[in-house]
Amino acid sequence: MRERLGKFEVVRLLGKGAMGEVYLGRDPRLGREVALKVISAGSAFGEEAQARFEREARAAALLNHPHVVTVFEFGEDEGLHYLAMEYVQGEELEVLIQEGKTPKAELLEVLAQVCEGLAYAHEHGVIHRDIKPANILVTRHGKRPHAKLMDFGVAQMGPSGLTQTGTWMGTVSYMAPEYLDTGKSTASSDIFALGVILYEILTGGRKPFHGDTTTSVLNRILLHPPEPLRPVDMKDVSGRLLAAVERALAKRPVDRYPDAEALGSAIREAMSGAVEVPVVAPAPPAAPKPPKETTGQRILVGKGGQGQCLSLKVALRQAKPGMEIILMPGLYRESVVVDQDVIIRALGKPDEVVLEGVSGPALVLDARSASLHGFTLRAPEGEVALRVTSGASSLEGCVMDGRVAGAEVKAGAAPRFVDCAFRCSGGSGLVVAEGGQTRLQGGVVEGFRDTGILVGSGAQTSLHGVQVGPGDGVGLKVQARAQVVVEDSGFTALSGAVEVEPDGHVQLTRCRLLDSRFAGLLALERSHAVLESCDLGNHTCSGAHVLAGANVMFRQCRMVANAGFGVSVMDRGLATLDGCVIQANGGAGLLIHHGATVQARGCTISEGRSMGVDCDEGGQAVLESCEISGNAGPGVQVEPGGSLLLVRCTLKDGRDTGLLLLEDSQATLEECVAHRNARGGILLAKDAADPVMRGTNRIEDGFQRVDGGGHLVKMAPL
């Protein structure tokens, strides 16, 4: 070991790799410790290592960020090329993940910091190309972990790097599909690698694309979805991280986060949520305080000699901010604009005090913080009853009777509705336009033809204790980028209860989705939904229907007595079920269609008029600690091309077989029990492969196989 390299004193060896060594060094002029990476120009890796050193030095010259290791100098001393860089006393993230001792919340914070550093690098035209846990150092500043991204030795700077055509740079397990396909890396390729690390943090080191050989790993990255996350992987972390994993690991760059900073923000938002959900719950608009009466005066509106005004419009012209306007019983045919903070209160029941529009909406609310109480707004033909254009006003006990919509909330407005009723003979009960925010507490939405509540693109809405239905359309429709939180509400007697359109987000807690003519929940492509302690029952189709690319989590939900499936998950859909009851459905309790992925833990799937679980071609599922019992068809059926893992599951009391495996299907049983099934514990089709048996399984009903003549033949236990 040399005593010096250039101006740096060499203290001791820190580590050794295939291309060289790393020493602890000291800068005598500044008195600071440095890490010295060295490589001999005459070694087998000399030319490649020197090119990496130069690349790392060039990249470092562009970067100065608290979450990126700083390179101070690149030089050569008597044939030894060296890099002098910031010395970080810490542990590699890879070690912390594998040890499993560091709380996941801390590791997620580390990854969020790495996202910040990488975003900075991308802004300066540097693509790392070798993002992996081994290239992330973790130190501690007090109790808080601090991340440092290092090793820019294969980085790309500008539109083209030093890589030769057709040469991959980096580590295979972290390479994005488009990089493997074309050899061209982008900032989105680094984001894919961050998604792999996020997956590893959640799973304790398991890779999302696993294979026994490099070729098999490449194949899975290019052609297959990530291995399904298991319920245990999400223990002690927010379920909203499922959506972050899915988006970061999307096959197409356009479907991933737009930048590393956005991924870091998604991780932090998920970590900070009080409720573990895959959506960002909108903060409900603050309830406005009733305006103070600055004059102590009231204006009485009505006929019969008692009113000071015959018209609400006239009263509004006379009123000053803070005044109270009292509407006496009667029908007021006028369209009015409320543009100052007043209180308008009905003297009587809502159906006794009616404001009926004559041209345009019955009422346009354009005040900062007005307050309306206890009267009916009725729209003329082709209009809405109420239009809210700005402010955070409140309405209590009002009825919105519209023709196009009961009420319409425009961008920038944030009203609160308490115990209000929304009705519409021609369209939607309530429309929240793009950029609008609305909070509903109590009340009903009924009698609509199209949609009960339509939450437009980018809007935010919360519902608490609201009854939606009966109505001819969908109860709640959530459009792209909209965020909706629903608690203790009911959706009954509708064409469909809740529909989430692509890129929409909804969270439902303690809700009842019952008696629709289609499905309780319809989650369309790329949508996200979380349902907790909800009932989805008596629907003509499925309790829940999860389409391609949608991501839905069910916790402690009940899917009971649906004419079709309890839960159906279609191509590329992802459903996670925890502690759910799926009972007495007409079709399969759980249908895992082609290409879908399902994770279920602690669920009961029972008393179905068909099979309990149907895993279709290309479907894959993990069922852990589930009870599948009393179904008319097989408890579990795995069709050709399907793949299923059963861990500590019980298959019992079925009127058919416990587990039916068709040809070209795959099933693994680990510590499972099958007993009291009418046609045996496990039935194999003629050309079906034997299931993989791990641990101690009790198959008390025995194994049977269909022979070439179509007869059942008993087999010895596996």
The model's pLDDT over 419-444, given as tens digits with 9 standing for 90+, comes to 999 999 889 999 999 989 999 999 99
Q: Say if residue 68 is in the same domain as residue 156.
A: no
Q: Classify residue 252: in a domain, yes or no.
A: yes
Tell me the percentage of the chain whose pLDDT exceeds 90: 60
Please identify which residue in the block is written with the tokens 């801390």.
106
Residue 580 has pLDDT above 90, yes or no: yes
Query: What are the φ and ψ backbone dihedral angles of 653, each rounded to 5 degrees?
Result: 55, 25
Q: Classify residue 193: in a domain, yes or no.
A: yes
pLDDT given at position 211 = 83
Distance (Å, whole) CA 272 – CA 415:
26
CA distances from 651 to 281, 450, 535, 673, 718 (A): 38, 43, 24, 6, 17
Domain enclosing residue 17, as ranges: 4-86
Q: Say if residue 22 is in the same domain as residue 43.
A: yes
Residue type at 171?
Answer: T
Residue with the bigger pLDDT between 304 and 562: it is: 562
Q: Classify residue 617: in a domain, yes or no.
A: no
Query: Best-predicted range by mean pLDDT among 100-104, 285-289, 700-704?
Result: 100-104
Could you report the per-residue pLDDT of 347-373, keeping only the tens digit for each?
989 999 999 999 899 999 999 999 999
Distance (Å, whole) CA 171 – CA 155:
13
pLDDT given at position 370 = 95
Lowest mean pLDDT among 126-130, 512-516, 652-656, 676-680: 126-130
pLDDT given at position 163 = 42
Q: Say if residue 146 is in the same domain as residue 233.
A: yes
pLDDT given at position 47 = 61
Q: Classify residue 443: in a domain, yes or no.
A: no
Q: Classify residue 291: in a domain, yes or no.
A: no
Three-state SS for 157?
strand
Lowest mean pLDDT among 54-58, 128-132, 344-348, 395-399: 54-58
pLDDT given at position 229 = 80
pLDDT given at position 125 = 86
pLDDT level of residue 161 (50, 70, 90 thresholds) = very low
pLDDT given at position 429 = 95
Listed residues 272, 295, 330: the one ending a domain: 272
What CATH number is associated with residue 8? 3.30.200.20
Question: Which residues are known to be catalytic?
Answer: 130
Tell me the percentage of the chain whose pLDDT exceeds 70: 89
pLDDT level of residue 292 (50, 70, 90 thresholds) = very low
pLDDT given at position 682 = 92
Residues 278-284 have a mean pLDDT of 39
Residue 154 has pLDDT above 90, yes or no: no
* Strand pairing class (156-157; 126-127): antiparallel
Residue 306 has pLDDT above 80, yes or no: no
Paired residues of 400 in beta bridges: 377, 422
Q: Say if residue 130 is in the same domain as residue 224.
A: yes
Q: Classify residue 47: in a domain, yes or no.
A: yes
Q: Say if residue 107 is in the same domain as residue 205.
A: yes
pLDDT level of residue 160 (50, 70, 90 thresholds) = very low
Distance (Å, whole) CA 582 – CA 606:
6
Residues 393-397 have a mean pLDDT of 96
Residue 277 has pLDDT above 50, yes or no: no
Residues 637-664 have a mean pLDDT of 93
pLDDT given at position 226 = 86
Three-state SS for 74?
strand
Residues 168-188 have a mean pLDDT of 85
8 A C-beta contact, residue 23 and residue 34: no
Residues 133-148 have a mean pLDDT of 87
Residues 287-301 have a mean pLDDT of 57
Listed residues 47, 66, 86: the one ending a domain: 86
pTM over the 0.75 mark: no
Lowest mean pLDDT among 439-453, 494-508, 699-713: 699-713
Q: Say if residue 95 is in the same domain as residue 207.
A: yes
Lowest mean pLDDT among 326-335, 603-612, 677-686: 677-686
What CATH number is associated with residue 260? 1.10.510.10
Q: Say if residue 172 is in the same domain as residue 65.
A: no
Distance (Å, whole) CA 254 – CA 261:
16
Q: Say if residue 117 is in the same domain as residue 256.
A: yes
pLDDT level of residue 285 (50, 70, 90 thresholds) = very low
Contacts for 579 with CB less than 8 Å, ≥ 6 apart: 555, 556, 601, 602, 603
Q: Say if residue 80 is in the same domain as residue 105.
A: no
8 A C-beta contact, residue 598 and residue 624: no
Could you report the per-residue pLDDT of 215-254, keeping only the tens digit for each?
888 888 887 888 888 767 887 787 778 889 999 999 999 9
Number of domains composing the chain: 2
Q: Say if residue 138 is in the same domain as residue 179.
A: yes
Handedness of CA 120, 123, 126, 130 (dihedral sign): positive
Residues 388-403 have a mean pLDDT of 95
Three-state SS for 646?
strand
Listed residues 38, 60, 86: the one ending a domain: 86
Q: Classify residue 104: in a domain, yes or no.
A: yes
Residues 190-196 have a mean pLDDT of 96
pLDDT level of residue 46 (50, 70, 90 thresholds) = low
Q: Is 79 exposed, middle or buried (0-12, 13-18, 19+ CB in 10 A)?
A: exposed
Contacts for 15 with CB less than 8 Å, ≥ 6 apart: 21, 22
Q: Say if residue 262 is in the same domain as residue 113.
A: yes
Residue type at 464?
Answer: H
Q: Classify residue 359: in a domain, yes or no.
A: no
Q: Say if residue 149 is in the same domain as residue 250.
A: yes
Residue 164 has pLDDT above 60, yes or no: no
Question: Rounded mean pLDDT of the chain?
Answer: 87
